[in-house]
């Protein structure tokens, strides 16, 4: 009697982590997935994402043509996939890291001084 | 009679999306959060993440000293936060985009040919 | 009687600056060549350069196959071209900036403490 | 009888190449200067350059405050220094590569079709 397959986790980041592990494992890609390689691949994908915006005014970038948006969407997916994989390899809980960083940002950018400003926290 | 606050979403990406919206809204940062600006900020953060790895051998990068790992963790958080924010501004469902990209990757990198290989799909 | 054409400047950076100005001018690209756009394009090209190295060990990267080297060479050219163009738009003397930075690096990385070390100057 | 020191090369790229060789040699940095490491460092510096522009409108970026311009100038220097060093390690003649790429760009972007357009060559 076989077990029914487990349902996917309710949390997308956990679901992707498991899916990426299986994907890499089936392809014997573990040796290539050093944290350095993954951080490099993530940066390369960020550049590919940015390429779509490089000649646009800010206002234009909020109204992308459908084919550009479709391409941008997949580049964003690439960034997320490498980020989730990197987190897995480093043993980092990505959601908790983001929550911690948001708490730090709330301290660095108090509403009273940061409101309407583009300044970096060390210049507020 | 006031409503009790809603519990946070079970999914971390949705939780972060809501938290980032509130954060930007309180600070009147919406005008700065054009998709182009956010894609640029994401790339800058990717570079800051990569900086920690730039002189390391692959093997070394799998055993980071604790202070480096702590810094890397927060850089990863920055990448995620800008990615979630960008997705929100573009109306992209990040989790679904990642699932779609994984399906595409499964087609591009069949186990039979991709196993143990670092080649890009157009060279397999 | 026509004038003979002026010889190209002896200095490659000046030669490229003049050639890029003429190239952009003929194509009416000046409006797109804001410093921000050029810095973005430069970063995108850096990512394309890096892509060729993303799965390589350091040792492998010193012995690139000829077709990879040919591609890498042109990506390096792209980085240089955008850098020269950006410098022109900002009124920066690139060679002098590099000399100034080398002088700063000599102070930050004295031979006695930096020898054989990968540490950043603020950790020496 | 000692020889007088050789004058620096008239060409800035050659001058910098020699200066960087000596700098790395004195510090025994050759083992760290693999092409992959240098390409990574170049990308990290490009990100630091881009950071100064990340919240600016295109028009603003053409009129940087003096302290920003001074910082931008040194980030540009960093990009150039790593590029020159990478070229040296790969045996690439950077000036000739740039000339070759400009010739290719002239073919890809004929004045007649590229004038006033931001389209990439494969979409002209």
**Regarding predicted confidence, which is higher, B10 or A33?**
A33
Q: Which helix (H) or strand (E) holds A10?
A: none
Rounded Cα gap, residues D72 and D50, in angstroms: 9
Q: For residue C13, give the nearest of C73, C72, C98 by alpha carbon.
A: C98
**Which of D36, D44, D52, D53 is the mutation pick for testing B, counting most B CBs within 10 A?**
D44
Residue B82 clears pLDDT 60, i.e. is over it: yes
Residue in A40, A50, A53 nearest the CB of C50: A40
What is d(CA A52, CA C87) in angstroms, rounded to the nearest whole number? 23
Report how far apart the first and last C-alpha atoms of chain B are (Å, whole number). Answer: 64
* C19 Cβ under 8 Å from any chain D Cβ: yes
Q: pTM of the prediction?
A: 0.94
Q: According to the model, what pLDDT value does residue B112 have?
A: 95
Which residues of chain B does C58 touch, with a Cβ-Cβ cutoff of 8 Å?
A: 57
For A36-89, how does the pLDDT look when each residue is reduced to its tens digit (9 = 90+)?
999 999 999 999 999 999 999 999 999 999 999 999 999 999 999 999 999 999
Tell me the per-residue pLDDT of C23-49, one tens digit each, with 9 for 90 and over.
999 999 999 999 999 999 999 999 999
- Take residue B116 and report the two structure tokens written for it: 């143990």
B17 burial type by CB count under 10 A (0-12 exposed, 13-18 middle, 19+ buried): middle
| Average of per-residue pLDDT across B44-58 | 97
CB D23 within 8 A of CB D84: no
Q: State mean pLDDT over D1-10.
A: 67
What are the structural domains, with CATH classification, of chain A? 12-92 (1.10.287.1080), 95-124 (no CATH)
pLDDT score of C6 = 65
Q: What pLDDT is stored for residue C2 in this prediction?
A: 64
State whether residue A122 sits within 8 Å of chain D by CB: no
C35 touches chain D (CB under 8 A): yes
Chain C contacts of D68, Cβ < 8 Å?
A: none
**Which pLDDT score is estimated for B4?**
67
ipTM associated with this complex: 0.93
Q: Is A41 on the interface with C (CB under 8 A)?
A: yes
Q: Which residues of D touch B53 (CB under 8 A)?
A: 40
Q: What is the pLDDT of chain D when averaged over all its residues?
A: 94
d(CA C22, CA C25): 5
The count of other CB atoms within 10 Å of the CB of residue C124 is 12
Size of interface A-D (CB pairs under 8 A): 9
Distances (CA, A) of C51 to B30, C45, C67, C76: 33, 10, 14, 12
């Amino acid at each position: 009697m076989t077990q029914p397959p487990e349902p996917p986790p309710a949390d997308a980041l956990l679901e992707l982590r498991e899916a990426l592990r299986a994907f890499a494992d089936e392809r014997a890609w573990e040796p290539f997935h050093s944290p350095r390689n993954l951080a490099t691949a993530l940066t390369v994908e960020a550049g590919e994402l940015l390429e779509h915006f490089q000649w646009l005014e800010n206002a234009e970038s909020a109204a992308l043509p459908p084919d550009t948006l479709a391409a941008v969407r997949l580049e964003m997916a690439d960034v997320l996939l490498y980020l989730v994989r990197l987190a897995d390899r480093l043993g980092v809980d990505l959601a908790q890291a983001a929550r911690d960083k948001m708490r730090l940002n709330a301290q660095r950018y108090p509403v009273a001084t940061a409101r309407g400003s583009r300044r970096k926290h060390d210049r507020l």
